Amino acid sequence: MTDPRFDAWRARADAALEAALPQPQTQPQRLHAAMRHAALSGGKRMRPLLVYASGAVFDADEKALDAPAVAVELIHAYSLVHDDLPSMDDDALRRGQPTAHIAFDEASAILAGDALQSLAFEVLAGTRVNDATRVALLRALALAAGSAGMCGGQALDLAATGSGAVLSIDDMQRLHEMKTGALIRAAVRMGGLCGGGDGPSRRALDRYADALGLAFQIRDDLLDIEGDSATLGKTAGKDAAQAKATFPSVIGIDASRARLRELGAEMADALAPFGEHADALGALARMAVERDR
């Protein structure tokens, strides 16, 4: 379920994140401390691993992959900070740590999220690739983060939670394709862009990434029911408490598990043409399906 390269890639991503974030002793200190709290408080580094793993399919230079790995994690970290705010999901615990607005204050959390987003694009503009590829990376990440992607998905999620209406499976799938899927797809795409993948391989990786995003979400929904807060590092049972539409609540637990297995098979199929070059992506697929936190 893991790949020998994951530890090294996580260490690369962590070092690059640490180097990209402003120092805590630099003014404005409270803002910088909040940014570091948000980006450095653990996390599985799933999206950076996806960048390295999809770059590895094309033997991309790992030095070129550091910037997109950091950028996608910064976008992810900012989205968690804003999603946890009182006017959004109102969550006090994340990755076993107090969320940014609890550890600091609401204004600092909003600003830290904003500045993390800017930093993601600043870092990405310095990727060690040619300028045409840099522009393609910047466009891919901006599209994935915006109202047609992550932000739009969070808006759909808030609307669904607020209305109390029962979501159709199609609407719920679309919500997650935007809320979490778009950024996962961007991570995989950026690795491919840095490695110079061609059209057919890009389409195969898109198919893999779409299945992965959905699998990740279904597993998340199942863990909210089956997991416990200590292992998860966040509050379990929250979806049910908020009467949130989830895959288990809409199609049932057994059907959700079956869908997860199907997605696992679909990912294996999408990766088959790449052979052992896609071993790391395959390990991430199994991790998404089988993880317990």
- Tell me the closest approach of the beta carbon of residue 126 to a copy of itself, in angstroms: 7
Q: Is 151 in the site for a copy of itself (CB under 8 A)?
A: yes
Closer Cβ to a copy of itself, 245 or 278, answer by number: 245
Virtual CA dihedral for 95, 11, 25, 142, nearest 10 degrees?
Answer: -70
Strands of the chain (E only): list them. Answer: 93-94, 97-98
Closer Cβ to a copy of itself, 25 or 87, answer by number: 87
Identify the three-state secondary structure at position 180. helix
What are the Cα distances from residue 75, in Å, to 139, 184, 199, 209? 14, 11, 26, 17
Closer Cβ to a copy of itself, 46 or 138, answer by number: 138
Which of 155, 253, 255, 268 is the binder for a copy of itself (CB under 8 A)?
155
Which of 7, 18, 61, 106 is the binder for a copy of itself (CB under 8 A)?
106
Report the candidate in 204, 227, 221, 207 with the shortest Cα–Cα distance to residue 274. Answer: 204
- Tell me the closest approach of the beta carbon of residue 26 to a copy of itself, in angstroms: 9
Report the candidate in 21, 13, 100 with the shortest Cα–Cα distance to residue 65. Answer: 13
Query: What letter would DSSP give residue 179?
Result: I
Which residues contact a copy of itself (rule: CB under 8 A)?
A: 22, 27-28, 30-32, 35, 78-79, 82, 85, 87-88, 105-108, 110-111, 113-115, 117-119, 121-122, 125-126, 130-132, 134-135, 138-139, 141-143, 145-149, 151-152, 154-156, 158-159
